[in-house]
Amino acid sequence: MKKILLISDTHGYLDPRLMPHITWADEVWHAGDIGKESVLDAIEALKPVRAVWGNIDSGEMRRRLKEELRFDCEGMDVWMTHIGGYPGRYDRRIVERLKKDPPGMFICGHSHILKVIYDKNLQLLHVNPGAAGKHGIHHVITAIRMEIDQGKVKELSIVEWPRKNISGSDPSNEPTPRLSGSPEGQE
C-alpha cells in the first residue's frame, strides 16, 4: 500500500498548509505548472516526488522533468501529464494514445478544476487535483490524498481551503477532507 499526495498548479508557491499532507504521504505527485524549482526542491527534500512539467514551467524545469510519466504504483498503471482534458474531451495530442493503451489512472492538471471521474468508455480513473497554488481563476486550493494497493485506489480524500485566506496563519484555515472512500468504478 502506498499513500500519495497529488497536487498540481502550484505556480511557484508551496502553501505551508500542505505540509501535514506531504508528511503523511509516501510519495508526492505533481501534475505540472510547478512554477519554481525551489518548490520542487522543497518537496523533494521531504518525500520522493513524481512530477511532470506544465505550460508555465521554465526551460530548466523542462530539462529536469518530462512532459509525461507512465509508471506502476502498487499494481496500478498510472499516466500523468499536465494538459490532458477530461472524459469525452481529452486533449487532441493524447486522445488516440489513451484509446489505444488506456492506463488504470490518468492524471492531469492545467484547468485548476478538481475532477475525479471514472471514464466508463476507457475504463480508467481520471483525476485532476485542481490547483494548490495562489495564481489562477480558482477560489479554492485543493489537493488529493489517496491510498493505492493491489492495483486499486482504496481511499481517496480531497483537502481544500479558501484561496482568499492563503496568507493567514489562523488554524481554522486548516484544510479538511471533503470526501473519502473508493472512487466509483474502483470497487
In the predicted model, what is the mean pLDDT of the chain? 90
Which residues make beta-bridge pairs with 17?
Answer: none
For each of the domains in the chain, give its residue range(s) and CATH number, in order of start.
Answer: 2-177 (3.60.21.10)
CA distance 129 to 139: 14
Split at pLDDT 50, 70, 90, the class of 139 is confident
pLDDT above 60: residue 88? yes
For residue 106, what are the CA distances in angstroms to 141, 153, 175, 184? Answer: 21, 13, 25, 15
pLDDT digits (tens, 9 = 90+) for 26-76: 999 999 999 999 999 999 999 999 999 999 999 999 999 999 999 999 999
* 110, 132 Cβ separation under 8 angstroms: no
CA angle 49, 53, 59 (to 5 degrees): 120
CA distance 14 to 155: 24
Quote the pLDDT of residue 138.
Answer: 82
pLDDT over 90, % of the chain: 82
Buried-exposed string 37-54: b where 16+ CB fall within 10 A, e elsewhere: bebbeebeeeeebbbbbb
pLDDT digits (tens, 9 = 90+) for 155-182: 999 999 887 644 444 434 444 444 444 4
Quote the pLDDT of residue 164.
Answer: 64
pLDDT above 70: residue 108? yes
Residue 62: its H or E element: helix 59-64
**Mean pLDDT score, 139-160:** 96
